[in-house]
Structure 1
Amino acid sequence: MDRAGRRGISMWSRGPKHSGHSPKSPRGPVRSLRPGARAKGCRTQPTHFQLRTEIPFSPAISGSSRGNPSPFPLVSSPFSFLPPGGDRGVGVGVGWGEPRRVPEAPSGKRWPRGRCAWWGGDGAGGGESGNFETRPSVTSRRRHGLVSLLGPCRVAEPRRSERDPGYPDLRAVGTAEDMSAGMGGFWPEPWLTRSLGYPGLALAAALLLLVLCLNARRTRRPGEPPLIKGWLPYFGQALKLQKDPLGFMTSLQKQYGDIFTLLLGGKYITFILDPFHYTSVAKNQKLSFQIFTNKFLKRVFSIKKMLTDSDLIDEIHSTYQFLQGKHLDILMESTMQNLKQVFEPQLLKTTSWSTEYLLPFCNSVIFEMTFTTIYGNILADDKKTFITELKDDFLKFDEKFTRLASGIPIELLGNIKSVRTKLIKDLTIESLAKLQGMSEVVQRRNDILEKYYTPKDTEIGAHHLGLLWASVTNTVPTMFWAMYYLLRNPKAMAVLRDEIDHLLQSTGQKKGPGFSIYLTREQLDSLVYLESTILEVLRLCSFSGIFRFVQEDLTLHLESQDCCLRKGDFVVIFPPILHHDPEIFEAPDEFRFDRFTENGKKKTTFFKRGKKLKYYHLPFGLGVSKCPGRFLAMVEIKQLLVVLLTYFDLEIIDNKPLELNYSRFLFGIPYPDSDVLFRYKIKS
């Protein structure tokens, strides 16, 4: 290996001449590269990497100089080994992303073996995180976005970027200690830094494997539920569970009974499947929902104060009263007015058919209706532009939600941190002040948040992002599945239309030109077949889990047995097993719009093992974790379906079966695995 192959890192500015190390000047100066800039000759933006390596490059270690993948196992979490006080060390790099290419070598030059290049790329927070690439031949064949990078690289000193102080920029060459401080590396013991090459790499891999194995060494204690770990350290049964949650859980229930513990992503989770045990879980004070929620809010929305301030938690919870009772009636009126603004332009059009995909249609209508109902209307001429941009950013954030919730660092999720930052900025008190018609719940939350934060604290916007997410994210797929099942079941649609027409006639309302109908909450509640349809959709499609955190070792006294639980574990009630139980619901996999009706009235009595069930339908949670916005969500879906069934002819074009996409498993209503076209027109 030549001298250039053993030393330094090459960096390039955007000019035609490359600056930094070259084969002729291995220790030449390194100039700053502007964050987010493309290196000259780079065909696409580089993949984001946070991991560094400082061991001599060897084709045998990295796979080969032709780009074969590394034989060493990779894990989906960032780690780095960098020695304090020096610029050489041992490490492995792991990154996520689509295949990228590194810059081509300058004219008349070729990359020496072991050469690494590092430049500003499209990392989280505006594209200012460091990125690693080795020679083009080494990185051009990444298949799944996972790469092991091994080679001799100098590191650049990080500084805080002017555009985003939370992310490092690159300046002159510094030490590995500087870089780790900027990029979040962790230090091994000093003796490890003296190990280079194969021994150091083997030791790093051994340490990682040891951590995973120690986590998986747990054994079942007397009185504990059956323990099912699987053969994969850390991940446990996660892959099987996500592939077919209902089938997998049903098979475990037949094998182990109604209570068992699974290893899932490094966490031990005890599932409770018997509905007669739910009350014992909900009432046990040592099983905490709040601890789980606070960690969740910090991880997903960057809300930190609720981890330490119980008074703030109590005051925030007090605002939920503005989502029910007489306050809900006010929200209903606002919702109907906002629906009028959405659909009235359509009502003035001719009776020609409009064709759309169903999911974007539901996304657009639900998001605009919900946002304007809760936060108010923007009076500027660019209202549609504002709503559209906000919705698009929200959908980008929501797409990565489960990865954030599962604990993957946001820095490894592309530009999601910058998207979240933008959403939070759009929902600060200063931004919301531009809106008119703000709901009582938001006004009260603002009053409370101003007591605990300074007016310019961005965490206020994070609170509002959490409220907006909770208001929209499950309403959209519920509306999608309701329309999908109705479009595929003409009989159900006909019954609902007759029910709505009868109500309008009985209240003296006639369907005329324009948007003229108005229904009270009591009138909406009288539409039993409409409500049964929505409940049936939630029964079929809800895959939420009801979480509790075990605060200390305890014995849970259940109806059929006692169950020992371990401190630090989670307990989860899994309602889909209940919802698909053939003993409770006949033909549970079928859509039956009238399942929750009996003799023209609401049906609320269901049995299992000859005993009446207290809990038979749990899409909104249980006890203290019951969704406070469930009443508003049901009202919105009912109102939207009434408007569509009253004013529009609806037909499905792609009458094909759809499956649930389980990527949101345990966190709400799944989206479909694909989409369908439908068409609508104004009734003549």
Structure 2
Amino acid sequence: MTFIMDPLLYPSIIKHGRQLDFHEFAAKVAPVTFGYPVVVPALQDQIYRTFKLLQGDNLAALTESMMGNLMLVLRQDHLGERGAWRRAALYDFCNAVMFEATFLTMYGRPPARRHGDMAALRDDFVRFDNMFPLLIAGVPVRLLGRTKAVRDKLIGYFLPHRMSCWSGTSEFIRTRAELFEQHGALRDVDKAAHHFAILWASVGNTVPASFWAVYHLASHRGALQRVRQEVLAVLGLHADQFNGDVDLVLDRGQLEKLVYLESAINESLRLSSASMNIRVAQEDFSLSLGAERSVGIRKGDFIALYPQSMHMDPDIYDQPQSFRADRYVQDGRLKTDFYKAGQKLKHYLMPFGSGSTMCPGRYFAMNEIKQFVCLLLLYFDLQLEEDQSRATLDQSRAGLGIMLPAADVRFRYKAI
């Protein structure tokens, strides 16, 4: 595997979409990890096309649904008596709220509005997710204790006869379910495994990203208050006009105006993202690395970008280990001008991958993180508890996305 470390060369890799492909690698790894058979090319192409339903006009409907589901979970589970402090572990809190709200948004709800076994489902998901790095590394699932049994249980949750009882399913999941029904070679358990894979893709990185955004803002009270004021301003409210008894609505257009919040989230992503962008050479060719350099690439060679090295480069980011909520704000807009060796970088922040293989759900992911943070800051007073160590990154997931905290963080919160 060849690593390209100079971010100025990233465009040279990304533009070779035909010769350097990610899909071949994913098509081999994903079935083994999530427990479905290798997908035939015709079906794979149809599956890829469904990802368009996470963008464009469909994004507005997903965002609206997520807002309602976040309010549902927060109001029923956490917006209790005002003025009463409650204590919790921050990652567990973020996980419980974001996991269920995302699940309801993507897959729908039973007649009772909430899935009664959501806590057990989430616990099993965490057990599987803890083994995810080993599965991606190619360790056979049979060698990982009860991991296969846990995965089978998770897959079973998405069997067609169960999903048919849910209402409010997103168009994205509904379209995929209809597509799977058209392919007679897929067993019900295979269809369910595909749905389970989307669950992981929906929350596996979004939950830790939400945690880090909340954690960093809670650690920097000035930034937290500035975000809160920005949200109120977008809503056209003063602090004393906000009524916690009313469900908050922040649509897609309003979320796009939250520049300072987006900067704070971007900064959290910069500090916690450790994704590795892998490409597989589809043919022998000469890879140009600027005007004067090139290197011979053989078919089957692996080329990798590791953007974390760029995210932590002091030549690009001043004091890169520090959280600066306004790092991506300039003149009231999102800053996009970052330089290396005097040259402007085309790619300076890459938590969602690159090129044609960028995460198709990245716009929804950013919206739901924004929504979650907005609701927490408007409805709650939250404080990190004293006398505890700062959160650090769990390096075991390096290369796989947003890293989890090595240990959870205690905090307290009360409804305002």
Structure 2 length as normaliser, TM-score? 0.95
After superposition, what is the alpha-carbon deviation per residue over 1:488-512, rounded to whole angstroms, capped at 9, x for unaligned? Answer: 1111111111111222226999421
Task: Output the amino acid matched with 2:168.
Answer: G
Q: C-alpha offsets along residues 155-179 of structure 1, whole Å, 9 cap, x if unaligned?
A: xxxxxxxxxxxxxxxxxxxxxxxxx
1:494 to 222, 225, 235: 225
2:4 and 2:305 in contact (8 A); partners too: yes
User: Counterpart in 2 of 1:460?
Assistant: 191
Give the deviation of 1:528 after TM superposition. Answer: 0.7
C-alpha deviation, 1:454, in angstroms: 5.4
Alpha-carbon separation, structure 1, partners of 2:238 and 2:105 = 25
Which of 51, 56, 59 is the matching residue for 1:320? 51
For residues 610-660 of structure 1, give each alpha carbon's deviation from its aligned partner in whole angstroms, at most 9, with x where no partner exists: 222111111101112100011111111100111110010010004522221
Q: Which residue of 2 aligns with 1:680?
A: 413
Question: Which is greater in Rg?
Answer: 1
The structure with the largest helix share of the pair is 2
**CA distance in 2: counterparts of 1:348 and 1:361, whole angstroms:** 15
Q: Which residue of 1 aligns with 2:21?
A: 288
Match of 1:367 among 74, 95, 99: 99
Deviations 1:236-285 (A, max 9, x none): xxxxxxxxxxxxxxxxxxxxxxxxxxxxxxxxx11011122222212222
Contiguous gaps of at least 5 residues in structure 2: none
Q: How far has the Cα of 1:469 moved from its partner? A: 0.4
2 CA distance for matches of 1:675 and 1:584?
30
Deviation of 1:379 after TM superposition, in Å, equals 2.0
1:171-570 aligned at under 5 Å gives the runs: 269-284=1-16, 285-306=18-39, 309-345=40-76, 346-380=78-112, 383-453=114-184, 456-505=187-236, 510-559=241-290, 560-570=292-302
1:596 alignment partner in structure 2: 328
Query: What is the one-letter code of the residue matched to 1:283?
Result: K
> What is residue 374 of structure 2 aligned with on the other side?
642
Q: What is the percentage of aligned positions where both structures have the same residue?
A: 41
- Of 361-370 and 651-660, the range deviating more from structure 2: 651-660
Cα distance, 1:612–1:675 mapped onto 2, change above 3 Å: same
Residue of structure 2 in register with 1:242 after alignment: none
Give yes or no for contact 1:338–1:373 (8 Å, CA) kept in 2. Answer: yes
Aligned length: 412
- The SS at the match of 2:304 is strand
Q: Give 2:392's aligned residue.
A: 659
Q: How has the CA–CA distance of structure 1 residues 633 and 653 changed in structure 2, closer, same or farther, with 3 Å as cutoff?
A: same
C-alpha contact 1:348 1:514 (8 A) present in aligned 2: no
The Cα of 1:585 is off from its aligned counterpart by 1.1
SS in 1 for 2:96: helix
For the pair 1:581 / 2:313, whether they are aligned, the reply is yes
CA contact (8 A) 2:244 2:379 kept: no
CA distance in 1, matches of 2:129, 2:208: 12
Q: Deviations over 1:105-158 (max 9, x none)?
A: xxxxxxxxxxxxxxxxxxxxxxxxxxxxxxxxxxxxxxxxxxxxxxxxxxxxxx
Offset at residue 304 of structure 1 (A): 2.2
- Would you say the 8 A contact 2:71–2:248 is kept in 1? no
8 Å contact 1:548–1:570 — kept in the other structure? yes
Q: Which runs of 5 or more residues in structure 1 are unaligned? A: 1-268
Q: Secondary structure at the match of 1:555?
A: strand
Residue 6 of structure 1 corresponds to which residue in structure 2?
none
SS in 2 for 1:536: helix
SS of the equivalent of 1:680 reads: strand
Deviation at 1:348, TM superposition (A): 4.0
Contact kept in structure 1, 2:232 and 2:238, CA below 8 Å: no
TM-score (norm 1): 0.58
Aligned partners of 1:292 and 1:331: how far apart in 2?
29
- Verify the 8 A CA contact 1:453 1:460 in the aligned structure 2: no
**Residues 110, 167 of structure 2: 8 Å contact kept:** yes
2:304 pairs with 560, 569, 572, which one?
Answer: 572
Alpha-carbon distance in 2 for matches of 1:543, 1:366: 21
Q: Is 556-565 or 293-302 further displaced after alignment?
A: 556-565
SS at match of 1:458: helix
Contact 1:344–1:515 (Cα < 8 Å) also in 2: no
Q: CA RMSD in A?
A: 1.8
Letter in structure 1 aligned against 2:208: P
Give the counterpart letter for 2:223 in structure 1. A
Partner Cα distance (1:288, 1:620) in 2: 16
- Report the alpha carbon displacement of residue 550 of structure 1 after superposing the two structures with TM: 2.3
Q: Distance in 1 between matches of 2:158 and 2:126?
A: 15
Query: Is the contact between residue 231 and residue 258 of structure 2 (CA under 8 Å) also seen in structure 1?
Result: yes
> Which region of structure 1 is more displaced relative to structure 2, 592-601 or 277-286?
277-286
